[in-house]
Amino acid sequence: MSDPEQFSLSMSDADALMWNIEKDPLLRSTIVTVNRLDRDPDWDRLVDKIDVGAQLIPRLRQRVVTPFLHAGPPHWSADPNFDLSYHLRRLRAPEPATFDTVLELARTAAMAGFDRARPLWEFMVVEGLADGSAALIMKVHHSITDGVGGMRLAMMLYDTERDREASAPAGDPTPLPLLAPLGLLVRAVDHNRRRVLGIVRRSFGQARAVGEAMFRDPRGTVEQAAAVGKSVA
C-alpha cells in the first residue's frame, strides 16, 4: 500500500486556489471523463476493484479541511465517514438510452459541485444502453490530480484485459491523519512563518542581484527596469 506520508497534507497554492474558487459555478476546476464499455460491467467485481484502489490511493479517502479563521492553506484530512457507495454509483440509462444520453449525464455532473465534506471524486456507471454497451463517468476535482494524473489513476483502477484475475480483497486501510480546523492553527502559524522567512530571503537575494547589476551596467539596468514597469502597466 502507498505510504500516506508520500502525499502532502497541505494543499499547494495552486490547488488551494482551485479549491477556494470551487464555490463559483463558473470557475469550478472539475475533470470529467467518459469511458465507453462494450457491456455492463460485473458490479461486484468493479466495487472490489475501486475499493482496493481507494486503499492504495490515500487522496480517495481524504476530504479538505480549512484551518480555523482561514489562517493557513487547506489541508487533506481522513474522512471518518468514508462511504464507497456514495462515490461509486450505478443507474439504468434513461430513454432513449443512447451515448448522447450518457454525455448529457456527464454534462450535468460537471456542472454540479462536490460535497465539500467528502472526498472530491464521484464515479457513475450507466448501464443498459440501447446498443448493449455501458459507460463509466469519472468526476474528479482538479486539486486531486490533473489530466495526466487522471489517466494514471484510471490505469491503476481498471483492468485492460477482460478475463484478468480479480483484485485481492481490500484489507484494513492505511491509517490517515484526522485533522480539525482548530487543530490546524498551529500548522498554519508555522506555514506562515516559513513563508515570510522565504520571502525575506528571496528579497535580500534579489536586492543584492539588482545592486550588482547597477554596479556593472547602470544604464542597462535602469532601461530594463523601465521596460518591465511599462510592461506591467
Q: Please, are residues 179 and 9 in contact by the beta-carbon 8 Å criterion? A: yes
b/e 118-129 (16+ beta carbons within 10 angstroms → b): bbbbbbbbbbeb
Coil, helix or strand for 144?
A: coil
The pLDDT assigned to 23 comes to: 79
What integer pLDDT is reported at residue 72 of this predicted model? 81
Give the catalytic positions in this structure: 142
Contacts of 128 (CB under 8 A, 6+ apart): 40, 92, 93, 97, 134
CA end-to-end distance (rounded Å), the chain: 52
The H or E element containing residue 51 is helix 43-56
Calculate the alpha carbon distances from 36 to 24, 50, 137 in Å: 30, 17, 9
Contact by Cβ (8 Å): 142, 14: no
The predicted model scores a pTM of: 0.73
Contact criterion met (CB below 8 Å) for 56 and 156: yes
Angle between helices 43-56 and 147-157 (to 10 degrees): 120
DSSP per residue, 67-101: PGGG-S--EEEE-TT--HHHHEEEEEPPTT-SHHH
How does pLDDT run across 54-96, given as a tens digit for each residue?
Answer: 888 888 999 999 888 777 889 999 999 999 999 999 999 999 9
Cell of 229: 514597469
Cβ contact 177:77 at 8 Å: yes
- pLDDT at position 4 is 47
pLDDT of the residue at 96: 95
Alpha-carbon distance of 163 to 166, in angstroms, equals 9
Digitized pLDDT (tens) for each residue of the chain, 233 residues in all:
444 445 678 888 888 888 888 878 888 888 999 999 999 999 998 998 899 888 888 889 999 998 887 778 899 999 999 999 999 999 999 999 999 999 999 999 999 999 999 999 999 999 999 999 999 999 999 888 766 666 667 777 677 677 766 655 556 667 888 888 877 767 656 555 555 555 556 655 565 665 666 667 777 766 776 777 777 66
Task: Give the H or E element holding residue 175.
Answer: none
User: What per-residue confidence (pLDDT) applies to 221?
Assistant: 63
Q: What is the pLDDT of residue 206?
A: 62
Q: CA-to-CA distance for 90 and 107, rounded, in angstroms?
A: 17
Cell triple for residue 220?
542597462
At 2 the pLDDT is: 47
